[in-house]
Every structure is written in structure tokens, then in C-alpha cells.
Amino acid sequence: MSAYHIFIVEDDKWYGEILQYHLSLNPDYQITRFMNGKDCLSQLHQKPDLITIDYSLPDMNGAELLKKVQQASPGTPVIVISGQEDIATAIDLYKKGITDYIVKDDHTKDMLWNAVNRIRENQSLKKEVEILREELGQKYEFEKVIKGTSESIKKVFSLMEKAARTNINVSVTGETGTGKELVAKAIHYHSDRKKKPFVAINMAAIPSELLESELFGHEKGAFTGAMARKIGKFEEANQGTIFLDEIGELDMNLQSKLLRVLQERELVRVGGSEKVKLDIRLVVATHKNLAEQVKQGRFREDFYYRIMGLPIELPPLRDRGNDVLLLAKYFLDDFCKQNKLGSLQFTPKAKERLLKYHFPGNIRELKSMMDLAAVMCDGKEITDQDISFNAPRADQDLFAKEKTLKEYNIQIIEHFLNKYQRNVVQVADKLDIGKSTIYKMIQDKEIEG
């Protein structure tokens, strides 16, 4: 372990020697002492891990030296040691960014010892987090996130690289299961914000009456049950990236509030008045055609243009040709490795079966299919019999049997009612038909209620 380098700036030679001796009891600490601020500044190229500053120095005061240290070595923790117990001065220094303020008295040595240990521990934790984020960034390398060599995927790679180079908003579109959140994470972990938070939230998974508080936070007492202040997702993502999945599900009222937050780059928590400044990168995703939603008056036009930024459309798996086989082999190998199974290959008929399938569930469905195939396989090869297609019947055999238009309508509506837990309002919205049409079919017992 390398030495932990501490600068002590103290013009009282005797007192400086006491502090140096006391901290040197830890063999991991390397101490360098200075009698004035100028000498300390001249040696900042040594990149100390921590600096202690006497507030009253012969050439400048603690606030002046703090400012110059922050300019030359931003992020270096600074402890101010003062001979006076001046609360106003301490508060002002904390606002300016010091890590700790210690008054010179009989307990100074012990307080300094504890403060240095605490700061060092926090620095170690931050370093561990940075290492983990670096590893996470490698995990989300573009070619690892989206495997494929098709032209449509190469185009996606190109757009992701362009997005990662700037802070432009990004909108990711594509069918369910195409990997929209993975793309958002990959862009974040290849951007300048990779060491800051990535926060994801599914707009469709949270009731609309709770969504504002979830996004922007709330103050204590803002509403019944608000027992304490809560930080929202936008504050959590500050200086990083926020990913809003299923943005098309956001109601018009919240679209307006979110538009204001994005324009002003600040928010006010529910029930509060304090303005919180924001520095975020926005990535949104949807499977809906938002331009069409705008035309139909279901999505604000000004909000649409604010969030679109750089559009990235993920192609469905059925349009990616041989990428299907590449992905299938990747998922198969990964499952076999995790479950300590031997290496498995595909028979020609198995490959043919995969290439002919339309994959309504896209990549998510393919992974599930490969996990099951590996379990069902009896030998060293995956045969066509080992591959099961478990898509809902409405997707699988809609045209397998000739029917009347009315029978097709009933089958389609029944399928979507099952998919959305018999929620008539949601199904009517998805199919763009009147609620009364579905209710009448239920009343006429053409479909189940």
C-alpha cells in the first residue's frame, strides 16, 4: 500500500512538530510540513492526499489558501485548524468547501487523528466505487451490450458513439425486448459522466399520482404519509444520467412540469420552495410512435422536441439476419458456463428454425429460449426439437386459420385484454378504439369481461 501523503501548513514550528509527530504514529502516513501558504502551493504537484491549514498564516489566511488549493488541486480534502472558536468563520469555510474545521485546544490531536482516518476511509470507498464504475463501463462496451454484425446494428453503434461524445439528450425507440436500457447504460458509461450516477425509472411502472414525488422528491409534510424529506430520481442522478423508460406513458400534466425542469435545469421538491440546480444527461425510451402521439394530441409538441435530441432506433431481432445465430450462441454459451454444462452446438435444422422465427419478444425472448433449449438438450447439440416457441397464440397463429374480420377483431382484443390484465381503458388506448366498443362486446358475451 502506498503512503498516505499529508501536507501540514502551520507557521508555529513547535505546534507543527506536535501535529507531525502525532500523525506519524501511523506508519502509513507521510507528512510534509510548511510554514506558510506560498511554500505549500509550490509543492502541490506532489498531489497530497490531504492538507491541514492553520487559519492564521503570515502570508495569507485559511480562506485565501483554501481557494488557491481548490484551483490548483480540486478535490483534495482540506482541514482548517484555527486558534479561535469563531462559528461564523467555520460556517463560511464549510460553505467554501473545507472537509473539517478543528479548534486548537487540548483535544486537537485526537480530533485531527479521527478526522484524517475518517477522510481516508471515505476516499478509499470513493476509489472503490470509481474502480467498480470503470469495470461497469467495460461491461457496457458497445459490442458487448449489442452483439451483431448486421448493417442496422453497425448504424446503432455509430449513433451510440456520437451520443457518448456529447451531452445531447438521447431518445431510444424500438419494440419491447430490443435492449433500450442497455443502450442507455452503454452511452452513460462511455461518456464523461461515467463516474457519476446512472438512474433508471420506468414511467409506466409507477402510479401517476406518485410519479411527481418519485421524480422530483418531496419535503416532510408535503402530503399525508410524507414523514421525512425524500430525494427524487432527478436529484439522485445529478451530474450523471437519468433514463426515463416508457416516456410515452407520462400524462400531459407531468409532461408540462418535466418540460419546465429540463428548460430551467432546476427543480422544486413537492411541498417545498427551495430550488435545486440540476446538471443531468437525459435519455428516454419508448416503444410508441411519439410523433403520432403528438398529432393525436396525446403528447405535448414542445416536450417532444425537448426530449428527442439524438434519436436511436433499435431494429427488431427479426430484421437482423444472422445476428440471431450470433446472439443465440452467445446466450447459449453464457447459460452453459453459469450452470457448468458442457459446450453445446446447433444442428443445421436448429439454425434454420431460429432464422425463420419472427421473435415477437425480440432479444429477451431469444435468451429465454436458449436457456430452455440448453436444459432440454440430451446430447452435445441443440436440435430443432429442443427449441420451443412460447409466443402468445395471437402472435403465433393469427393467420393459421381463415376467419371473418369480426372473429379476427375478437381474437386481437381478447389477446390484449389478457396482456393488460383485462384493463379495458388501457386496451382501448393501445388499439386506438373506443372503450364502448369493448364494453359492448363484453355485454354481448363475444369476449369475457
For residues 34-66, one letter each, b for 16 or more C-beta atoms within 10 angstroms of the residue's C-beta and e for the rest, the string is bbbbeebbeebeeebbbbbbbbebeebbbeebb
The stretch 385-409 carries a mean pLDDT of 68
pLDDT in tens, 199-222: 999 998 888 888 999 999 998 888
The span from the CA of 374 to the CA of 372, in Å, is 5
Lowest-confidence range among 134-148, 155-169, 347-361, 420-434?
A: 134-148
Q: Which set of grid coordinates corresponds to residue 271?
A: 411541498
Give me the pLDDT at residue 188, please.
Answer: 92
Give me the pLDDT at residue 395, please.
Answer: 46
Q: What mean pLDDT, rounded, does the chain reach?
A: 87
Query: 348: exposed, middle or buried (C-beta count within 10 Å: 0-12, 13-18, 19+)?
Result: exposed
The stretch 175-199 carries a mean pLDDT of 89
More confident: 398 or 157:
157
DSSP-derived secondary structure for 292-336: HHHHTTSS-HHHHHHHHBEEEEPPPGGGSTTHHHHHHHHHHHHHH
When pLDDT is cut at 50, 70 and 90, the band that residue 357 belongs to is confident
Proportion of the chain above pLDDT 70, given as a percent: 92
Q: How many CB atoms lie within 10 A of CB 212?
A: 18
For residues 122-149, one letter each, b for 16 or more C-beta atoms within 10 angstroms of the residue's C-beta and e for the rest, the string is eeeeeeeeeeebeeebeebebeebbebe
Lowest-confidence range among 76-90, 125-139, 319-333, 355-369?
A: 125-139
Give me the pLDDT at residue 214, please.
Answer: 92
Q: Which of 216, 302, 224, 315 is nearest to 261 (CA)?
A: 216
pLDDT in tens, 135-172: 555 555 555 557 788 888 889 989 999 999 999 999 99
The stretch 170-175 carries a mean pLDDT of 93
The stretch 225-247 carries a mean pLDDT of 91
When pLDDT is cut at 50, 70 and 90, the band that residue 394 belongs to is very low
Q: Which set of grid coordinates corresponds to residue 115?
A: 478526522
Q: Is the pLDDT of residue 372 over 80?
A: yes
Please name the residues in contact with 95: beta carbons below 8 A apart, sequence gap of 6 or more.
none
The stretch 230-238 carries a mean pLDDT of 92
User: What are residue 241's DSSP bridge partners?
Assistant: 198, 281
Set out the domains of the chain in order of their start, with CATH numbers: 4-131 (3.40.50.2300), 147-313 (3.40.50.300), 317-391 (1.10.8.60), 398-443 (1.10.10)
User: What are residue 102's DSSP bridge partners?
Assistant: 81
pTM value is 0.58
Q: Is the pLDDT of residue 314 over 90?
A: yes
Q: Is the pLDDT of residue 257 over 90?
A: yes
Give me the pLDDT at residue 184, please.
Answer: 93
When pLDDT is cut at 50, 70 and 90, the band that residue 277 belongs to is very high
More confident: 2 or 11:
11
Measured between alpha carbons, how far is residue 251 from residues 223, 296, 303, 304 in Å?
Answer: 21, 14, 12, 13
